[in-house]
Amino acid sequence: MSGRYILALDEGSSSARAVLVDEHGETVAESSEPISPIFPRPGWVELDPAELWGALARSIARTMASAGATAADVAAVGLTTHRETSVIWDRATGRPVHNAVMWMSKQTDDIVNGWSAAGLDPEFRRRTGLRNDSYFSAGKVAWLLEHVPGVRADAERGRLAVGTVDTWLLWNLTGGTVHATDPSSASRTALLDLSAARWDEEFCDRLGISTALLPEVRPSDAWFGDLAPGILPGPMTHPVPVRAILGDQQAGLFGQACLGKGSAKNTYGTAGVLTVNVGDRPQVMPGMTSSVAWQFGDRVVYEAEGVVFHSGQTLQWLRDRLGILPHASRSESIAQSVDDNGGVYLVPAFAGLCDPYWDRDVRATIVGLTLDTDAAHVVRAALESMAYQTRDNIDALERGGLRIPELRVDGGAVANDFLCQFQADILGIPVDRPRGVERTALGVAHVAGAGVGMWTLEEIAARWDRDRRFEPRMPSDEREELYDGWRAAVEAARSIPARRRLDAPVPVA
C-alpha cells in the first residue's frame, strides 16, 4: 500500500464533500461545495451534471490543500453518492445529453403510470424489490430516451452511456475510462435482478432500456479504475485506485457498523432513511423496499429500507419559505420553548409520502392550528414529524417480522438532543448517537481502506464509538396518544382530493 490517507468522496443531493481519513479512521481534513437543483417546470427537479462534477472537483482540491496533501499521500478513494438520480452522456465527448433527472422529480409520472397500466407493478416488486414509482431510476432513463431529441437513436448506435451519480462521477474521476457501478447503487434503479445482483436483461427489454447502455456492476469493494492525472495535486507517484463504491444510505449503514442481521440506522438528511441489515437473503416486506446493502467479493448482504422524502429539508422549508426558523441549529431551543406541540402536526408530504404509504398525490399539511398556535409549535411539530415518520417505517418492519431492538442515528439533524430524545420516546427503544454524526463518507472510506489492507472489517466494527444513548422515558400511554394524533394527521392529509399539478411531458431541447 502506498499513501497514508483514504480520500472519501460523498456527493449528496445538496452538496459535494471530500474527506481525508487517516490510518486510524480519523478525519484529517474535509470540505464541501453546495449543489443547486434546477426546477424546469412544476414537479420537475433536475441537476446540472457538469456542476455535480465541478462541485466535487473543487471539494477535492480544497480538502487536499487544507491537509497539505498530494497524490503521493492517498492510498485509495471511496465514492458514495445519492441514488436514483440518472444521467446520460456521450461516450466520446463525455458531455451529458440533458440535465440529470433527480430522485424526487415527478416528470416521469406518465411513463410509470403506463407501466402500471400494462400490469408491470408486480414484476417490479418481484424482480427488483422496489416499486414502479417515479422515485427510482428506470422511469428517468426511459424519460431521457423518449423525450430528449436524438437520444434514442444515439443510444441504439452505442454512442451513449447511462448511470446514476456514482457512475457519472467515476467516469470523470477515471478520465472517461471506466463505466461501472456497484450493486448497492444498481439495486436502486429498478433494473437489477435483486436475487442475482445483476442487470435483469429480460425486464430491461420490456421497459425499452438496453442493458448495453448500463454500467458494469462490480462488487462494492472492487477495483474501479485509477484516478486520472490532475485529479489530485502533485505528481502521481503511484496509481491511486477507486477502491469502493456504495450508495449513500448503504455507506451510512456500514459506517454505523450495522454489520449483523437486524442492526439498523436512521439518517436524517435532506430525506430521512431507515436502513436495516437483513442478512444474506433479500426480504421484501409490505410498505418497504429491499435493496443490496453491499457486495464484498462474492458475498452479497441485503437491506430493507424505508425512505421519507422530507426530513431535514422540512427545517430548510421553515427557514427559507416561511421565515419562522432563523437557522436549523435554533430548532432545538425553539421547540423546547413550548411544553408540547399544542396539538399541531406537520405532515411534510411536499412531494407525496414514500415508505410505508407510497402515496405520491398527498401534499404537505399542517393540522391542529388554533389562535393559540405560534411559530414554536410549528417548529416543534416539524421536528416531531421526523421521528413519527421513522416510527412509521419501524412499525412496518416489525409487522413484516423483523424486530428492531435499538436504533443508531446519524446526519446533521441528530446534533439536536430534542429530536434524539423524542425519537427514543416515540419508538420506545434506545437511540444511539455515534461520536461523529456524518457516517456516510466514513463508511465508504472504511471499505476502501479495507480493500488496500489499511484495516480489517473486524477492526472497523470495533471502532464504532457511542457519543450518547437516549433511553425512552415517555409513558407508553402518552407515546401512543401522540402517535395516534400523527396517524390521524396523515389520514387527514391523504383525504384531501389530489389535484394534478404536472403537465404532460413534452420533448425538450
CATH number, domain with residue 185: 3.30.420.40
Strands 407-410 and 431-434 turn out to be parallel
Give pLDDT tens digits along the chain (509 positions): 567 999 999 998 889 999 999 998 889 999 999 999 999 998 899 999 999 999 999 999 999 999 999 999 999 999 999 999 999 999 999 999 999 999 889 899 999 999 999 999 999 999 999 999 998 999 999 999 999 999 999 999 999 999 999 999 999 999 999 999 999 999 999 999 999 999 999 999 999 999 999 999 999 999 999 999 999 999 989 999 999 999 999 999 999 999 999 899 999 988 899 999 999 999 888 889 999 999 999 999 999 999 898 888 899 999 999 999 998 889 999 999 999 999 999 999 998 898 899 888 899 999 999 999 999 999 999 999 999 999 999 999 988 888 899 999 998 889 999 999 999 999 999 999 998 767 889 999 999 999 999 998 788 888 888 999 999 999 999 999 999 999 999 999 999 876 543 333 333 33
Q: Are 65 and 18 in contact (CB under 8 A)?
A: no
Collapsed DSSP state (helix, strand, coil) of residue 215 = coil
* Residue the block writes with cell 414502479: 132
Triad 71, 185, 161: Cα angle to 5°? 80
Answer yes or no: do 265 and 233 share one domain: no
- Say whether pTM exceeds 0.85: yes
Q: Which residues, 6+ apart, have CB-to-CB distance to 340 below 8 Å?
A: 380
Cis amide leading into 430 (omega within 30): no
In a domain, 69, yes or no: yes
Answer yes or no: do 203 and 288 share one domain: no
Q: Residue 411: its pLDDT value, please?
A: 86
Q: Domain containing 61: what range?
A: 5-248
Answer yes or no: do 330 and 380 share one domain: yes
- The x, y and z cell numbers of residue 100, run together, are 440529470
Q: Are 295 and 328 in contact (CB under 8 A)?
A: no
Strands 272-279 and 180-181 turn out to be unpaired
Q: Are 368 and 489 in contact (CB under 8 A)?
A: yes
In a domain, 236, yes or no: yes
In a domain, 120, yes or no: yes
Answer yes or no: do 100 and 240 share one domain: yes
Answer yes or no: do 243 and 263 share one domain: no
**Residue by residue, what is the 3-state secondary structure of 67-90?**
HCCCHHHEEEEEEEECCCCEEEEE
Tell me how far apart the alpha carbons of residues 318 and 311 are, in angstroms, rounded to a whole number. 12
Picking from 152, 209, 206, 208, the residue whose alpha carbon sits closest to that of residue 186 is 209
In a domain, 419, yes or no: no
In a domain, 140, yes or no: yes
Answer yes or no: do 45 and 170 share one domain: yes
Answer yes or no: do 201 and 297 share one domain: no
Answer yes or no: do 400 and 266 share one domain: yes
Q: Are 84 and 119 in contact (CB under 8 A)?
A: no
In a domain, 282, yes or no: yes
Which of 220, 248, 276 represents a domain boundary (last residue)? 248
Answer yes or no: do 384 and 298 share one domain: yes
- The x, y and z cell numbers of residue 83, run together, are 441514488
Picking from 346, 358, 353, the residue whose alpha carbon sits closest to that of residue 317 is 346
In a domain, 146, yes or no: yes
Which of 192, 219, 248 represents a domain boundary (last residue)? 248
Picking from 281, 266, 270, 259, the residue whose alpha carbon sits closest to that of residue 457 is 259
Which of 248, 268, 297 represents a domain boundary (last residue)? 248
> Into how many domains does the chain fold?
2
Q: Which residues, 6+ apart, have CB-to-CB distance to 99 below 8 Å?
A: 38, 40, 46, 47, 48, 49
Answer yes or no: do 165 and 274 share one domain: no
Answer yes or no: do 283 and 378 share one domain: yes
Rg for the chain, CA atoms, rounded:
22
Answer yes or no: do 241 and 279 share one domain: no
Handedness of CA 348, 141, 183, 173 (dihedral sign): negative
Q: Are 411 and 452 in contact (CB under 8 A)?
A: no
In a domain, 416, yes or no: no
Element (H, E) at 265: strand 264-268
